[in-house]
Chain A
């Protein structure tokens, strides 16, 4: 059979198409699209310069390339899902303009999209994840962006009808209430506590109690680092409370907590994503998309906690600090550990 030489443009298209599913090495891409290693390497360089792909995981010998797309952490979605997301976002923006005479903000757009995706009548196969402010569509939504309304899927009218109802239902709720409603609906204690902590005006006993509750609700499954780091922060804040006035350091404490939350929320994204059968290869999701972000957020949180520890150390005085009555039974068990 005569072999037809593909144009560079065609190979570029094929590379991008192949990267839709998951990151691939040059060798894997070359095999997948049937073009030679050198050409693929050259075109990947071009695509990288144009901001269409990026290197994800690299070892000494192999580089993996990932397509840059408008989802969180460039996690792949199918083209059909992308079109449905865009249609959904455009409908929500339109409905907000029609019913509320304004654009939705980012939270309203995301929460309305999630409500539509989870609507039993629609049965949309669109991935959602838990992240910083609750459940959101995996595709990044931006109310300032112009989303075309030219979707022609067979369920287009049904989606439109449901979105219109949801926006009407959300009519009297602001973004904060929508977010809170979602935490309640899914009984996400960790998110409710996160809100309580970050909105604390006075860092008193109640605040310390919320931190303890937050620690209990911290995810423990197969990821003890999250718990250990959270406990480190909770103990540091408690130590600071013992030697100084917490309110004096309110901003730094809350910023440190937020830094830790970014790490925890990225883990929540990973955990919720891998519950979806489309992303059930847990190791692959971790390796290609979330290992680096988790590491960066962990390092940032550690750095911020260390800064707070140095504040506590500067306040620590050379005097006896007596063990609280509440902790005596714990100490009784542990007091002979090293004697």
Chain B
């Protein structure tokens, strides 16, 4: 029987961002992988939370763009709420404003809303019809395990996802940990974590980084 797949949030987001009208190889890879459905898809509650957060941050980016449309002297990324955005997200909001600024405010809003609608539909469709099983409630994530991983990984959210994957793996047949994160979950970084002596009692899922396939 084919191994089950535990999906990282970036795979689902990339799948949701795919459109045949845009050429993006990574998104295409994720879309094809998700659609191929080689076996059962597992998703942890922390990833669900990350997806919700992703959608919410989109709204903050839109807020920043509309503030700039209403007041061209406004600097994107200076509101209190924009502190929740990463530098990359603020830069994307700036790029988006530059690309759209010659449209009427009504047109800009329409474009932003239609894009969000498609993205959210794709994510929600995944959660409703494609994901097979939700595992590891957030309150069950082992804090100690997270803090060990934290010493090896500089992204706290990734630590929680990996901790969830490890906890799920202890109770199941070996599965794939599917990701496209080239910074924290590339093959050598993953091997480095696997070799951590304090994690030697944990069965690790096999890494499937779609960027390296």
Using CB atoms and an 8 Å cutoff, list the residues of chain A in contact with chain B: 209, 212-213, 215-216, 220, 224, 227-228, 231-232, 234-235, 238-239, 242-243, 313, 316-318, 321-339
Contact = CB atoms under 8 A, between A and B. Distances in A.
Contacts of B117: 235, 238-239, 242, 327
Given A238-B113, A339-B14, A321 B118 contact: yes
Given A327-B111, A327-B114, A213 B106 contact: yes
B106 A339 contact: no
Contacts of A227: 59, 63, 66
A328 to B, nearest CB: 5
A188 B18 CA distance: 40
Given A235-B120, A239-B117, A337 B88 contact: yes
B92 A339 contact: no
Nearest to B97: A333
A4 to B, nearest CB: 53
Given A216-B66, A326-B114, A334 B109 contact: no
A242 B117 CA distance: 8
Contact of A224 (B63, B70, B180): B63
Contacts of A322: 19-21, 118
B67 A220 contact: yes
Contact of A228 (B27, B60, B128): B60
Interface of B, secondary structure class, is helix
Contacts of A324: 114, 118
Given A220-B70, A313-B124, A322-B19, A209 B110 contact: yes
Interface residues of B, number: 51
Contact of B122 (A243, A321, A334, A337): A321
B22 A332 contact: yes
A133 B29 CA distance: 52
Interface string B1-44: 00000000010011001011110101100000000000000000
A330 B95 CA distance: 10
Interface in B40-93: 56, 59-60, 62-63, 66-67, 69-70, 79-81, 88-89, 92
A220 B17 contact: no
A110 B128 CA distance: 50
B121 A336 contact: no
In the A-B complex, the 6 residue pairs with the smallest Cβ-Cβ separation, listed nearest first, are A339-B26, A318-B129, A327-B115, A327-B114, A323-B19, A330-B115
Contact of A333 (B13, B60, B99): B99
Given A216-B105, A235-B113, A338-B14, A333 B118 contact: no
A328 B120 contact: no
Contacts of B95: 333
A256 B19 CA distance: 31
Given A209-B106, A322-B20, A335-B19, 18 more contacts: A212-B110, A215-B66, A216-B106, A216-B109, A227-B63, A228-B56, A235-B120, A242-B117, A242-B121, A316-B125, A321-B118, A326-B114, A327-B117, A330-B99, A331-B118, A333-B99, A335-B17, A335-B27
25 contacts: A212-B109, A215-B66, A216-B109, A220-B66, A224-B63, A224-B81, A231-B63, A235-B120, A238-B113, A242-B121, A243-B121, A318-B125, A322-B21, A323-B118, A326-B111, A327-B115, A329-B99, A330-B112, A333-B95, A334-B17, A335-B19, A335-B27, A337-B17, A337-B92, A339-B24
Contacts of A224: 60, 63, 79-81
Nearest to B180: A339
Contacts of A235: 113, 116-117, 120
A295 B148 CA distance: 40
A326 B80 CA distance: 30
Interface string B158-181: 000000000000000000000010
B111 A329 contact: yes
A75 B70 CA distance: 32
A79 B114 CA distance: 53
Contacts of B100: 329-330
B106 A334 contact: no
B138 interface: no
